[in-house]
Amino acid sequence: MIGIVSYGGYIPRLRLDRMSIVQNIGWLAPAIVMVAQGERSFCNWDEDSVTMAVAAARDCLSGTDKKKVDALYLASTTLPFADRLNAGIVATALNLREDILTADFTSSLKAGTSAMVAAMEAIKSGEKKQVLVTASDRREAKAASFYEMWFGDGAAAILLGDEDVIAEFRGAHSVSYDFVDHYRGTHERFDYTWEERWARDAGYTKIIPEAINGLLAKLAISMNEVDKVVYPCFFKREHASIAKAIGATPDKVVDNLHEACGETGAAHPLVMLVRALEEAQAGQRIIVAGFGQGCDALYFRVTENIRRLPPRIGIKGCLADEGKKTIDNYLKFLKSRDLIETETGIRAEAPSQTAMTVLWRKRKMILGLVGGRCKKCGTPQYPKMDICVNPACGAVGEQEDYEFADVPAKIKSFTGDMLAVSVDPPAIYGMVQFEGGGRLMADFTDCGLDDIRVGLPVKMSFRKHATDKERGFTGYFWKAVPLAGAAKEEKQEPEKAAMPELRFDGKVAIVTGAGGGLGRVYALELAQRGARVVVNDFGGARDGSGESSTRPADAVVEEIVAAGGTALANYDSVAAPDGGERIVQAALAQYGRVDILINNAGILRDKSFANLTPDMWQAVLAVHLQGAYNVTRPAFAAMKERGSGRIVMTTSAAGLFGNFGQSNYSAAKMGIVGLMNTLKLEGEKYNIKVNTVAPLATTRLTQDVLPPDFLDKLKPEFIAPVVLYFCSEACADSGLIVNAGGGFFSRAAMVSGPGLTLGDGQRAPTPEEIHQNWARIDSLQGAHEFPNANDALMAMLAPPSPIPNTQSADKETRASGQGDKETHANGQGDSVQAVFERMPGTFQADKAAGVDVVFQFRISGRGGDWYAVVKDKTCKVEAGVHPKPTTTLKMADEDFLKLTAGQLPAMQAYTSGKLKIEGDLMKSQLVTKLFKF
Ligand code: NAI
């Protein structure tokens, strides 16, 4: 069986947000905005087609034996040398065998697929066993052209062979025409392009289907026997119509990656093929076609071996967030491509001629990063020399070749040099230490000074070293690149280390219900961090019934003492007032103080409300709500006397949000929040902080409610950190509720919406007015918290300046809440919310025939998220975020109001960057057509 053995990909780290092109030069060619979706990839200043081909090939060869490669074909239309075999540079950088065939495939965008066809033929004939095809392109386009928007830089590599095949080659078909939709003359930088309509109608949509249909006919199969089709075409509509012409349903067509990186020239059919292989299942059949003065089409069938292919970066890895850096600095993009001339100073004039004699003699060392390793002591060194660097060895003439390119390495030292000549100052260089030995003074690339630090892992990357413009020569060498994400991780480490340990030495803590579940873990961890703990537990059944037992509390005290801590058991019930007194008294009597109280004891008596009996109601309220009061009362007094204290309450999602069958429990748990809300105010001047945790953990209370799979994920240990934080001096907050479970922490809060005032203050509004204004009363858009009831009342009674009611012409209404902060930039006293509420009334149904679109508006400041769904000539406007918007419009509140008031033209907002658009740009323009604001 012959076919694909392995694949690899490389998309440069840098991406340019296409909108930044529009924003910088869209004034010259506004139409480019039509294709400004997403981002395009572009090479760093030290990358070209050769370096990208090396990167993709290294990815492809990972986990394979590169000594088996019999030929290397490099495909590109942007090769740095017209007469010096570029594939030869790649082969030397990869340290392939020297008795292989190397060849450049060039001058057409189908060079990549043509190289694959040639490789398959060589393997089929038995002449070669393995051929590595690597395709790469870094095409230039004129500023403000569609091609600048469409193009991206990138590379892919496919290893073809006759063993361990992951996708079997079934056949190929080519057509060849001297169809010149564009060309690039020798010595020209940019393509000359003919009329696009002709390229689309006579080229793409005719020639690609001809090759693919020809292949199907040749193999006597139909499109039913194809699962994925790859054919680059940056014209969106034609990409779809080609599918129709070959009978492929949209789900079979592989995305052309326009939004992710752009079209990578001769590499693109292979880049898209790699993307398809990354998702492919055994048995799937893939057609890949490359277009350019004709078209090649190849047919593959994925085999079971695909599962055994070792993990690689691939195109997927390069497109992942971690593998990229998106910038919106259009000038930097131009400079990195040498499209603008800038001052470099006389240092840049230093001679840069390469001595070909030295390059030949040291080719392995320079291009292949090959050093030496001592055969006697095994010490690696770079460069390779006659004498071993190990002082304890010093063997002479014992060095064997040792490849450093793939050896893991770390930064030993580095500097940023603002004086050195650099396209991207500062020039960063330093010492790299290889694992197992060997050091190299290297330049660093694809990073800024903030991204690196001593000890950070780096990988070696083949890059342009110097360009001798006078003689037209590009010199290559290896540079160090920090591993993606490593700096971020490292940065977090020191912060973690610098954070002082939260200790409770000398403090006394009371934990109620600490004989099991969450309370036990709180008690153990507080004791472990130095606190003396009163372990309270009544020891009854889950529903609070049964005899009291000393066993649970005693067992936890034993655990604490065995671990070297200090603790005291208490068996009182929190449900009784004197029980609470005795618990606090025990702490005062034994340890003389109370610094921390965790109200945690709890029981459950679940029943739907209709079946809930008064004793079930009473019992649950007695333990949770009364219990919290009973213990807090004496503890608060002791804390007040000392002038400090920390109290943690325990609420529940059932109380905060409701839960079927838990009306008693929900009421009690929400009562506890009310208790906290007032204690936070009364405790303030005594430095008593009161906070509440809403846990989710597997304990006796939840063991039969939560699925067993969650047992490990929801251990009480995941709740303790936030509870201990609340107990510590480090916590300066009071009155907060935090949801906690499985390592997730978030704040929950009571909020009020901005609302509105109805009527004139003399006459009570009517229920009809409530009905009419319900959307605004109901809305939480722009909602906020109040620190206390007073502030909430003031906001209600002293609303801001009146805003005319935009919904009813005859009644004057005023916006309320925090309306003083509302934006009324449009001179009509309008708010963003009012504009959206009015929006359905401004809808031009007669202009909406056949329109099916979701506009998402994300308005910053006092705006919020709103979306409008237009379908079947109707319009619905809602607050919030739509899961699948067609187009997203982002603006500041003031600009939005100016725009809707006609004071800011949409195009001006867009080109000045005040309006940002994501998703379908064309559809976004429908807003002004469909709504008369
Ligand atoms: P648990 O049943 O393991 O622990 C509760 C402890 O309180 C038991 O050891 C029990 O003997 C003790 N207790 C019961 N009545 C008492 C009384 N009158 N006086 C003294 N001690 C008494 O349950 P878990 O899950 O550890 O519950 C701790 C707290 O967390 C409770 O307030 C519960 O409502 C709350 N909670 C727990 C959630 C979870 O997912 N586990 C969810 C939401 C809230």
CB 535 within 8 A of CB 551: no
What pLDDT does 486 receive? 65
Confidence (pLDDT) at 755: 84
| Residue nearest atom 44 in ligand 1 by C-alpha distance | 652
368: its two tokens:
């292949």
User: Which of 701, 715, 726, when mutated, tests ligand 1's pocket best, judged by the most ligand atoms within 8 Å of its CB?
Assistant: 701
Q: Whose CA is nearest to atom 11 of ligand 1?
A: 539
Residue 102 β-bridge partners? 72
End-to-end CA distance of the chain: 66
**Cβ neighbour number for residue 105 with a 10 Å cutoff:** 25
Which residue's C-alpha comes closest to atom 18 of ligand 1?
573
Position 475 scores a pLDDT of 96
Q: What is the DSSP letter of 74?
A: E
Asked if 294 and 204 count as a contact pair (C-beta separation under 8 A), the reply is no
Say which residues have a Cβ less than 8 Å from residue 534's Cβ, sequence separation at least 6. 508, 509, 510, 511, 567, 568, 570, 583, 586, 587, 590, 591
* Residue 421 CB-density burial (10 A; 0-12 exposed, 13-18 middle, 19+ buried): middle
438-442 contacts: CB < 8 A, separation 24 or more? 438/371, 438/380, 438/381, 438/382, 438/402, 438/404, 438/407, 439/382, 439/412, 440/382, 440/404, 440/409, 440/478, 442/478, 442/479, 442/480
Query: What is the rounded distance in angstroms from the CA atom of residue 668 to the CA atom of residue 674?
Result: 10
CA distance 299 to 273: 11
Question: Do 232 and 256 meet the contact criterion of CB atoms below 8 Å apart?
Answer: yes
Distance CA 350, CA 48 (A): 23
Tokens of 530: 């130095």
Q: What are the pLDDT digits (tens) for 139-148?
A: 999 999 999 9
Q: Which sequence positions are flagged as catalytic?
A: 665
**CA 611 to ligand 1 center in whole angstroms:** 23
Q: What is the DSSP letter of 765?
A: P
Query: Ligand 1: distance of its center to the CA of 228 in Å?
Result: 56
Q: In this predicted model, which residue has the larger pLDDT, 178 or 494?
A: 178
Say if strands 688-695 and 645-650 run parallel, antiparallel, or are unpaired: parallel
| Residue pLDDT, tens place only, 189-222 | 999 999 999 999 999 999 999 999 999 999 999 9
Q: Please name the residue whose Cα sits nearest to atom 6 of ligand 1.
A: 513
Smallest CA-to-CA distance from 298 within 253, 241, 231 is with 231
Give the pLDDT score at 498: 57
3-state class (DSSP) for residue 430: strand
The single-letter DSSP state of residue 931 is: B
- For residue 84, give both structure tokens: 């010096």
Nearest atom of ligand 1 to the alpha carbon of 627: 18
Look at residue 142 and give its three-state secondary structure. Answer: coil
Q: What are the C-alpha distances in Å from 593 to residues 372, 429, 588, 638?
A: 70, 59, 5, 7
Number of H helices, E strands in the chain: 30, 37
- For residue 829, the model assigns a pLDDT of 53
Under 8 Å between Cβ of 688 and 696: no
pLDDT confidence bin for 492, thresholds 50/70/90: low
772 lines ligand 1 (CB under 6 A): no
| Ligand 1 close to Cβ of residue 538 (< 6 A) | yes
pLDDT at 809: 31
Q: Which of ligand 1's atoms lies nearest the C-alpha of 622?
A: 18
Ligand 1 near 41 CB (within 6 A): no
| Nearest atom within ligand 1 for CA of residue 741 | 40
Who's near 430: CB < 8 A, 6+ residues apart? Answer: 411, 412, 413, 414, 415, 441, 442, 444
Percent of the chain with pLDDT over 90: 71
Summarised one tens digit per residue, pLDDT across range 558-571 is: 999 999 999 999 99
Q: Please indicate whether residue 695, judged by its CB atom, sits closer than 6 Å to ligand 1.
A: yes
**What's the 601 CA to ligand 1 centre distance in angstroms?**
4
Residue 863 is predicted with a pLDDT of: 84
Q: How much is the average pLDDT of 90-108?
A: 98
Q: Which residues pair with 532 in a beta bridge?
A: 508, 566
Query: For residue 602, which amino acid is it?
Result: G
The two tokens of residue 88 are: 């030869």
Residue 802 has pLDDT above 80, yes or no: no
Amino acid identity of 334?
A: L
Q: How many CB atoms lie within 10 A of CB 236?
A: 14
What is the structure's pLDDT at 182?
96
* Position in ligand 1 atom list of the atom nearest CA 516: 9
Does residue 620 line the site of ligand 1, with CB under 6 A?
Answer: no
Q: Residue 894 contacts by C-beta under 8 Å, 6 or more apart in sequence?
A: 823, 825, 861
What is the 597 CA–ligand 1 centroid distance (Å)? 15
Q: How far is the CA of 541 from the centre of ligand 1 (A)?
A: 11
**8-state DSSP, 718:** G
Long-range contacts of 524-527 (CB under 8 A, 24+ apart): 524/556, 524/559, 524/560, 524/563, 524/565, 525/720, 525/724, 526/596, 526/724, 526/727, 527/560, 527/563, 527/565, 527/566, 527/567
Closest among 745, 725, 748 to 736, alpha carbons compared: 748
Q: Is the dihedral of CA 348, 354, 359, 362 positive or negative?
A: negative
Contacts within 8 Å (CB) and 24+ apart, 783-786? 783/751, 783/752, 783/753, 783/754, 784/751, 784/752, 784/818, 785/749, 785/750, 785/751, 785/752, 786/752
Q: Taking residues 427-454, report their average pLDDT.
A: 93
pLDDT digits (tens, 9 = 90+) for 813-842: 333 333 333 444 444 457 888 899 889 999
Residue 818 has what pLDDT?
A: 34
Contact 327, 16 (CB under 8 A): yes
pLDDT at 73 over 50: yes
CA nearest ligand 1 atom 31, residue: 602
Give CA separation, 909 vs 37, 583, 857, 890, in Å.
17, 66, 15, 11
3-state secondary structure of 121: helix
pLDDT in tens, 441-470: 999 999 998 888 899 999 999 999 988 988
Who's near 766: CB < 8 A, 6+ residues apart?
none
714 CA: nearest ligand 1 atom: 40
pLDDT tens by residue, 874-899: 999 998 889 889 999 999 888 899 88
Of 534, 524, 553, 669, nearest to 602 by C-alpha is 669
pLDDT at 173: 98
- Look at residue 913 in the predicted model and tell me its pLDDT: 79
| Mutational pocket test of ligand 1: of 699, 702, 715, the residue with most ligand atoms within 8 Å of the beta carbon | 699
Are 130 and 69 within 8 A, CB to CB? yes
Residue 503 CA, ligand 1 centroid: distance in Å: 25
Q: How far is CA 765 from CA 100, 505, 756, 825, 837, in A?
A: 90, 60, 12, 29, 20
Q: How far apart are the CA of 518 and the centre of ligand 1, in A?
A: 7
Residue 466 has φ and ψ, to the nearest 5°, of: -150, 145
Outline where DSSP puts E strands in 483-571. Answer: 508-511, 532-536, 566-570
* Rg of the chain over all Cα atoms, to the nearest angstrom: 35
Q: How many angstroms separate the CA atoms of 51 and 463, rounded?
A: 6
**Ligand 1 centroid distance, CA of 677 (Å):** 22
Q: Write the CB contacts of 283 (distance below 8 Å, at least 6 apart in sequence).
A: 301, 302
Those residues with Cβ within 8 angstroms of residue 175's Cβ, 6 or more apart along the chain or in another chain: 207, 210, 211, 214, 294, 295
Let me know: does 44 contact 23? Beta carbons within 8 Å.
no
> How high is the mean pLDDT of the chain?
91
What secondary structure does DSSP assign to 298-366, as a single string? Answer: EEEEE-GGGGGSPP--HHHHHHSGGG-EEE--HHHHHHHTT-S-----GGGGS-----HHHHHHTHHHH
- Going by the DSSP 8-state scheme, the letter that residue 773 receives in this structure is T
Tally of CB atoms within 10 A around 13: 21
Helical spans, DSSP H, in 66-138: 86-93, 111-124
Would you call 249 exposed, middle or buried from its count of C-beta atoms within 10 A (0-12, 13-18, 19+)?
Answer: exposed
Q: What is the pLDDT, as a whole number, of residue 19?
A: 87
Given the CA of residue 604, which atom of ligand 1 is nearest to it? 34
Distance CA 764, CA 84 (A): 90
CB 741 less than 6 A from any atom of ligand 1: no
Residue range 348-384, pLDDT digits in tens: 778 888 999 999 999 999 999 999 999 999 999 999 9
What average pLDDT score do residues 648-665 get? 96
